[in-house]
């Protein structure tokens, strides 16, 4: 299981991203979606920033298009390579990406996943409070969250256990980007759920609060079903869970 979410450049983030605020109250619970987590190549390659974006496209398409969208591994690697400047043959040996590199590349060049014109997502930054993250994942299907993992978190992921605070932690291992997609409740002892390394990874909201660095929401106009209004979706009028 590879990590690969480097520290983001806050100046670049402030220049590129707009912040979104919402007063709508999110539902008390959001069930895990019908689509299944895909590991893509993140078990061996540090491509979590792009893998999170792929899950964002899938979640948005499922929510507003009524169907899943296939993202091939080749498309994951191609976007990572363009964003970082790392050649395809060198991805496995690379260290990862600043998520802002991926954001800027996807916005500027689009993302070719095959079968249609390149997708051009739009991004907003959301706050890191529980209610803000919940609002974002309900609006967009997932919220992409940059988090910091330590040795205990890595062991928990391997064992299929939730990420939570306390106990012997060990050293910090690195940064990971996860698409947060569901939650059992908005406070303890409820878990939130993200697609990570091909499985549903649970985590407490306390853990999220302590470990989160950046939260991004992506919107995909090209993946809306016919008749679904982009304006209504972006105004928050069509975000029933």
pLDDT of residue 41: 95
pLDDT band for position 14 (50/70/90)? confident
pLDDT of residue 240: 45
pLDDT of residue 101: 94
SS3 content of the chain, % helix, strand, coil (to 5): 35, 20, 45
Q: Where do the structural domains in the chain lie, given as residue ranges?
A: 10-234
Could you tell me the pTM of the whole model?
A: 0.94
Is the confidence at residue 16, as pLDDT, over 90?
no
Q: What number is the average pLDDT over the span 33-39?
A: 94
Q: What number is the average pLDDT over the span 41-65?
A: 96
User: Which of 115, 139, 145 shows the shortest CA–CA distance to 64?
Assistant: 139
Q: What number is the average pLDDT over the span 185-198?
A: 95
Is the confidence at residue 96, as pLDDT, over 70?
yes
Preceding peptide of 189 cis, ω within 30°: yes
- CB 101: neighbour CB atoms within 10 A? 22
Q: Which of 41-45, 111-115, 139-143 has the lowest mean pLDDT?
A: 111-115
Q: What number is the average pLDDT over the span 185-201?
A: 96
Token pair 């499985």 is at which residue? 199
pLDDT band for position 235 (50/70/90)? confident
Burial of 5 (0-12, 13-18, 19+ CB in 10 A): buried
Token pair 């932690």 is at which residue? 169
pLDDT of residue 22: 66
Rg over CA atoms, the chain:
17
Token pair 């605020």 is at which residue? 21
How far apart CA 83 and CA 33 sit, in angstroms, is 29
CATH fold label, 10-234: Cathepsin B; Chain A (3.90.70)
Structural contact between residues 122 and 219, judged by C-beta atoms closer than 8 angstroms: yes
Is the confidence at residue 93, as pLDDT, over 50?
yes
- CB 87: neighbour CB atoms within 10 A? 9
């Amino acid at each position: 299981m590879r990590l690969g979410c480097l520290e983001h450049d806050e100046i670049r983030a402030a220049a590129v991203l707009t912040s979104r605020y919402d007063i709508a109250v999110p539902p008390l619970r959001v069930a895990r979606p019908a689509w299944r987590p895909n590991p893509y190549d993140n078990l061996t390659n540090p491509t979590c920033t792009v893998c999170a974006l792929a899950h964002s496209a899938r979640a948005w398409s499922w929510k507003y298009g009524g169907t899943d969208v296939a993202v091939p591994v080749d498309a994951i690697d191609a976007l990572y390579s363009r964003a970082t400047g790392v050649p395809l043959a060198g991805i496995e040996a690379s260290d990862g990406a600043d998520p802002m590199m991926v954001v800027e590349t996807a916005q500027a060049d689009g993302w070719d996943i095959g079968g249609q014109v390149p997708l051009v997502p739009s991004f907003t930054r959301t706050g890191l409070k529980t209610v803000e993250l919940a609002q974002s994942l309900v609006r967009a299907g997932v919220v992409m969250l940059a988090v910091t993992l330590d040795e205990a978190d890595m062991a928990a992921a391997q064992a299929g256990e939730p990420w939570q605070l306390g106990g012997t932690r060990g050293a910090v291992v690195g940064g990971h980007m996860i698409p947060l997609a569901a939650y059992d409740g908005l406070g303890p002892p409820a878990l939130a759920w993200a697609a990570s390394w091909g499985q549903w990874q649970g985590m407490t909201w306390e853990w999220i609060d302590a470990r989160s660095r950046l939260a991004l929401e992506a919107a995909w106009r090209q993946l809306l079903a016919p008749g679904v209004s982009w304006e209504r979706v972006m105004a928050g009028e069509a975000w029933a869970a």
